[in-house]
C-alpha cells in the first residue's frame, strides 16, 4: 500500500510540473519549415504543454509559407513565444511577420528584425500597380498582426514600406517586442507569471521550474528541408543528368537510369518553389545532348567543350533571383562543372584509346600473333596459329617448325614473317 501511495505522489508532482517545448529553426521560410512548425505547435497543444518557444533565425522566405506559420501561431491554444536567437541571428522579411505574430516576442542581444518590404521571388523590384498592391497588402497584414498583439503598428508598416531594420534593444524600446533575453533560462524567468490571451482564452504562464523539452526536427523534415536548399537541388539535378547520360550511352545498364530518375524527381521537388529560368534549364539539357553526341560522334572533344560551356552558363542562369538565400553558390557551380569536365574527359579519353587499340578478337586480332610453320614456306605454305591451320605466304624463306609472326591477312591467306627473337 505505501508503494502505490508513493507512486501516486510522484505522479502528482510530475503532472504539476509545467513543460515548455522548444523548437529551433534556422534557415529559409519555405513549405517544409511551415509544415514542421505547424506540426510542433499542434503536438504541443495536444499534450498540454505550458507554452512553445520557437527559436528563430531566418533571412526571410516565401510569402505563402510565412502566412501559414502566422495563421498557426494566431490559432494556437497555447502561448507561442518567438525568440530570435542566438546573438547574430535575425528575423528579416518573413521572420518579422512571424515574430510579431507571437503571443510573446523576444530577442537576444546582438540580433535584428525588419526589412520586410515585399519583393517578387525573383528578387527584383515589382513596379506599377502590382507593386502597390503587394506593398499595401503586406502593410495591412502586418499592421493587423501588430494591432492584435498590441505592438508598434507604425514601425510594422515602416518595416514593409521602407524596409527599416532595428536591433533588439531598439525593438524593445519602441514596443516591437516584449523582452530582450540572453538565453532561454533568462527568457523563462522574465515571462513567468505573465497573462496571455490565446484563441482558447486567458492563460497564466506559471512556469517556474518548468521542464524544457527540445523538439527535434524529424528525419522526414530534415530531408525535405535539405531538398529545398537550392544548392542541394542543383547537385541532385546534375547527378540525375549523369545517371540518364550513362543509361543512354550504355543501354541496358538499368541502375544508372533508375538512380538518375530518382535524383531528377528529388531535384524537381526542391526546384518547384524557386524561380527557374527556362533558358538556363535548356542550356543544361543541351549540355546533356552534347555529351551523349560526343559518345556517338568523333568530334575530338569539341562537343564536350561545348557541353561544359553550356552547362556552366545554364547553371549560372538556372535560378532567376537576386535574393542571396535563393541563389546557387558560385563555388558549387564551379565545383560541379570541373567534376563534369574531368568525368567526361576521362570517359572520352578511354573511348578514344579503345578506338585506337588494335583488335584482339576476330580476324584482325590475328595480326601480331605468333605461330609455327607446319611446312616450308617458299613463298607459300601452311602455319599453325591460335589453334588453327592456315595457308600462309612470306617474302622470306621459312623453314618447317620455325616460329612465325602474322603481319597481315588477305582473304583466308595469312602474310607472315620469321619471328626474330630479341637479344637478352
Lookup: cell for 409: 591477312
- Cell 486567458 found at: 202
Query: CA-CA distance, 320 to 139, in Å (whole number)?
Result: 26
133 is catalytic: yes
Active-site residue, from 47, 71, 133, 148: 133
Query: CA-CA distance, 92 to 105, in Å (whole number)?
Result: 14
143 is catalytic: no
Active-site residue, from 93, 165, 225, 315: 93
Residues forming the active site: 93, 133
Amino acid at each position: 500500500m505505501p508503494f502505490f501511495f508513493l507512486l501516486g505522489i510522484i505522479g502528482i508532482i510530475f503532472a504539476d510540473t509545467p513543460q515548455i517545448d522548444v523548437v529551433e529553426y534556422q534557415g529559409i521560410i519555405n513549405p517544409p519549415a511551415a509544415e514542421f512548425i505547424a506540426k510542433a505547435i499542434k503536438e504541443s497543444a495536444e499534450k498540454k504543454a505550458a507554452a512553445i518557444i520557437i527559436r528563430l533565425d531566418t533571412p526571410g522566405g516565401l510569402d505563402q509559407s510565412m502566412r501559414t506559420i502566422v495563421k498557426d501561431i494566431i490559432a494556437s491554444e497555447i502561448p507561442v513565444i518567438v525568440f530570435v536567437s542566438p546573438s547574430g541571428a535575425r528575423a528579416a522579411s518573413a521572420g518579422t511577420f512571424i515574430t510579431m505574430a507571437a503571443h510573446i516576442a523576444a530577442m537576444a542581444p546582438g540580433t535584428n528584425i525588419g526589412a520586410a518590404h515585399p519583393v517578387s521571388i525573383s528578387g527584383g523590384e515589382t513596379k506599377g500597380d502590382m507593386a502597390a498592391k503587394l506593398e499595401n497588402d503586406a502593410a495591412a497584414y502586418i499592421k493587423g498582426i501588430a494591432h492584435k498583439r498590441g505592438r508598434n503598428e507604425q514601425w510594422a508598416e515602416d518595416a514593409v514600406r521602407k524596409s527599416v531594420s532595428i536591433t533588439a534593444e531598439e525593438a524593445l524600446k519602441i514596443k516591437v517586442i516584449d523582452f530582450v533575453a540572453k538565453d532561454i533560462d533568462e527568457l523563462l524567468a522574465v515571462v513567468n507569471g505573465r497573462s496571455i490571451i490565446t484563441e482558447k482564452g486567458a492563460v497564466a504562464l506559471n512556469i517556474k521550474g518548468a521542464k524544457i523539452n527540445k523538439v527535434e526536427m524529424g528525419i522526414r523534415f530534415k530531408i525535405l528541408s535539405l531538398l529545398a536548399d537550392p544548392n542541394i537541388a542543383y547537385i541532385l539535378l546534375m547527378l540525375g543528368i549523369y545517371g540518364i547520360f550513362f543509361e543512354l550511352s550504355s543501354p541496358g545498364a538499368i541502375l544508372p537510369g533508375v538512380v538518375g530518375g530518382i535524383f531528377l524527381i528529388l531535384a524537381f521537388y526542391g526546384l518547384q518553389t524557386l524561380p527557374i529560368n527556362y533558358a538556363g534549364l535548356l542550356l543544361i539539357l543541351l549540355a546533356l545532348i552534347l555529351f551523349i553526341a560526343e559518345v556517338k560522334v568523333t568530334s575530338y572533344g569539341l562537343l564536350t567543350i561545348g557541353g561544359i560551356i553550356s552547362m556552366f552558363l545554364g547553371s549560372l542562369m538556372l535560378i532567376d533571383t537576386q535574393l542571396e538565400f535563393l541563389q546557387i553558390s558560385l563555388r558549387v557551380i564551379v565545383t560541379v562543372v570541373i567534376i563534369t569536365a574531368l568525368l567526361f574527359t576521362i570517359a572520352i579519353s578511354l573511348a578514344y584509346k579503345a578506338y585506337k587499340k588494335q583488335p584482339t578478337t576476330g580476324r584482325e586480332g590475328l595480326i601480331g600473333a605468333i605461330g609455327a610453320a607446319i611446312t616450308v614456306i617458299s613463298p607459300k605454305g601452311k602455319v599453325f596459329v591460335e589453334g588453327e591451320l592456315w595457308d600462309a605466304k612470306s617474302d622470306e624463306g621459312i623453314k618447317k617448325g620455325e616460329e612465325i609472326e602474322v603481319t597481315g591477312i588477305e582473304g583466308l591467306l595469312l602474310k607472315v614473317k620469321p619471328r626474330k627473337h630479341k637479344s637478352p
